[in-house]
Amino acid sequence: MKPILSIQQQLVPDLLDVMQKRYRLLQAVRIAGTAGRRTLAQSLDMTERVVRSEAEFLKERGLLDFSAAGMRMTETGMDVVRELEDMMLELKGIDSMAEKLRNRYNLSNVVILPGNCDESAFVKKAIGDACASRIKSHLSEQTIIAVTGGSTMAEVARTMKPDFAEGKQVLFVPARGGIGDDVRNEANTVAALMAQNTNGSHRVLYAPERISPDVRESLLQEPAIKEAVSMIQSADIVLHGVGDALAMAKRRKTPDAELAILEEKEAVAEAFGYYFNKDGDVIQKLSTIGLKLDDLQRATVVIAAAGGASKGSAIRSYLNGSPKLDILVTDEAAARVLLEQS
């Protein structure tokens, strides 16, 4: 930490607390594009009165603009957020946490967002924004991006903007079939939303995620499904979440007998239809249509995104078992659990 920041922390810690609060507010408006006071208060776990007071302060200094639609960042505000980003990570020790995780799990990059998405919707939005940024930096002239479903993946889609591809050809494909519990967060829907927000294109995988082996082999003979699977397996970039094993099993309406086996074998994490124990060993694999663990080796870049203290154990389990992972995007709460348990 820079000497002046260290001195400020000791002599005027309240000053740094205020700076972090205002930075969070600016960052939330930047990610949202335009945001109302009530939405910001809910996302940041602040009262509307506090948001109004801080926003007025930032407006007076030319960092925010107000309109009937809500608040939006000025160019000066954008510059301030960019300049403060590294300082905020340094203040909270997040940069050193990222380096430890990067070395421990042999990753090319670890991105840690301040906060806990279990407690703040804004933190999940920040994870989504960070994922979109990392994906953008790895685009080539023609790129196939495979994405799984889930609430975090949906946030990535929502943060993507029309200038995401910058004239490049991007095709979004669902990495998995559908679970059937919430169509808004299904992989097909997420891929379609990403294409819509970026002026890209997408393909649909018309298949449920969990099927019997016989039905699977029959479906794989269908031309539309065969074409979709071929594109999925050819993905240049794979973006996926990491699920809590038992929570995902229940979402799939897994029979009680199979749930009991997962509990007996101490399943911790789930990804791509594979269930992992705490050591990263695969203890069960579903018969599914879509991307498999072995397919990850073909991708140029694999990005996993998940956050919240409640996901810490699942993320660690997957990190222990993943055959290929280049970038982890998570939050401070999950990172602390990872470092405590490792």
Mean pLDDT within 278-307: 94
Average pLDDT over residues 205-231: 83
Task: Kindly state whether residues 103 and 221 are assigned to the same domain.
Answer: yes
Kindly state whether residues 98 and 119 are assigned to the same domain. Answer: yes
Average pLDDT on 214-221 reads 82
Q: Which of 284, 279, 338, 267 is nearest to 306 (CA)?
A: 338
Quote the percentage of the chain above a pLDDT of 90.
65
Q: What is the pTM of this model?
A: 0.85
- Which of 72, 90, 108 marks a domain boundary? 90
Indicate which CATH number applies to the domain containing 223: 3.40.50.1360
* Domain interval for residue 77: 3-90
Residues 186 and 75 in one domain: no
Which band of pLDDT confidence, cut at 50, 70 and 90, is reported for residue 8? low
Overall domain count for the chain = 2
Q: Which of 60, 90, 120 is the last residue of a domain?
A: 90
Q: What is the pLDDT of residue 278?
A: 95
Residues 50 and 131 in one domain: no
Partners of residue 202 on adjacent β-strands = 172
Domain final position from 90, 110, 135: 90
- Least trusted range by pLDDT, from 3-7, 64-68, 108-112: 3-7
CATH number at residue 60: 1.10.10.10
Residue 106 and residue 170 in one domain: yes
Residues 132, 79 share a domain: no
Query: According to the model, what pLDDT value does residue 89 have?
Result: 77
> For the ranges 40-54, 78-92, 217-231, 311-325, which has the lowest average pLDDT?
78-92
pLDDT of residue 11: 60
Q: 140 and 32 share a domain?
A: no
Highest mean pLDDT among 73-82, 138-147, 220-229: 138-147
pLDDT (tens digit per residue) in 242-269: 999 999 999 888 889 999 999 999 999 9
Note whether 76 and 152 are same-domain residues: no
CA–CA dist 193, 154 (Å, integer): 8
Q: Is there a single domain that holds both residue 230 and residue 99?
A: yes
Domain match, 79 and 96 both: no
pLDDT band at 31 (very low <50, low <70, confident <90, very high): confident
| Same domain, yes or no: 86 and 96 | no
Residues 264 and 132 in one domain: yes
Contact 241, 306 (CB under 8 A): yes
Question: Does 1 score more than 60 pLDDT?
Answer: no
Q: What percent of the chain shows pLDDT beyond 70?
A: 94
